[in-house]
C-alpha cells in the first residue's frame, strides 16, 4: 500500500502558522513560444519566473489570540515579505507581496477565515 505525504505548512518569520487550512503553490515559468513563418513553433524564450501561492486559514477567537499574522496590514503596506511553504517534504522560500487578502464570515457557524495570495519569486528549496 502506498503511503502519501501529509499536510503541508506555512511559516512566517520562522514561526509556523498553525491555523492554515489549505495551501496551493503554482510555479510559473512564463515562457513564451517562438513562432516562425518557416518552422511554425520553433521553440520558446525564457519568461519572467514567478510563484503564486494561495493560502486559507481559520481565525481563532480574539480571546485565543485572533489572527496569527495581520495579513491585511501586510497587503496594505505593499512591501515584499518572505514566507516558507512546506509541501511533500520540500521547503519553498518565496519572497514577494501579498495580494487579494480576503476575510470571510459565515452564518452557518463555521470559523471565520482569512485567505491571501502571495506572488513573488522562489528564493530556494530545501
The DSSP string of 44-71 is EE----EEEEEEEEE---GGGTS-SS-H
**CB contact at 8 A, 98 and 75:** yes
Q: How far is CA 73 from the centre of its chain?
A: 17
Residue 107 — pLDDT band, cuts 50, 70, 90?
Answer: confident
> What are the extents of the domains in the chain?
9-125
Q: What is the pLDDT of residues 5-36, one digit of tens each?
A: 999 999 999 999 999 999 999 999 999 999 99
Structurally, at CATH architecture level, domain 9-125 sits in: Beta Barrel (2.40)
pTM here is 0.89
Amino acid at each position: 500500500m502506498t503511503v502519501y505525504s501529509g499536510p503541508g505548512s506555512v511559516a512566517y518569520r520562522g514561526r509556523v502558522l498553525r491555523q492554515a487550512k489549505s495551501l496551493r503553490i503554482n510555479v510559473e515559468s512564463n515562457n513564451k513560444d517562438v513562432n516562425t513563418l518557416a518552422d511554425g513553433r520553433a521553440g520558446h524564450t525564457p519568461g519572467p519566473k514567478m510563484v503564486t501561492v494561495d493560502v486559507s486559514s481559520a481565525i481563532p477567537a480574539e480571546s485565543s489570540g485572533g489572527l496569527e499574522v495581520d495579513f491585511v496590514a501586510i497587503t496594505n503596506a505593499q512591501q515584499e515579505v518572505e514566507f516558507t511553504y512546506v509541501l511533500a517534504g520540500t521547503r519553498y522560500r518565496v519572497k514577494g507581496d501579498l495580494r487579494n487578502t480576503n476575510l470571510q464570515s459565515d452564518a452557518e457557524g463555521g470559523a471565520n477565515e482569512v485567505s491571501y495570495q502571495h506572488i513573488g519569486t522562489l528564493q530556494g528549496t530545501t
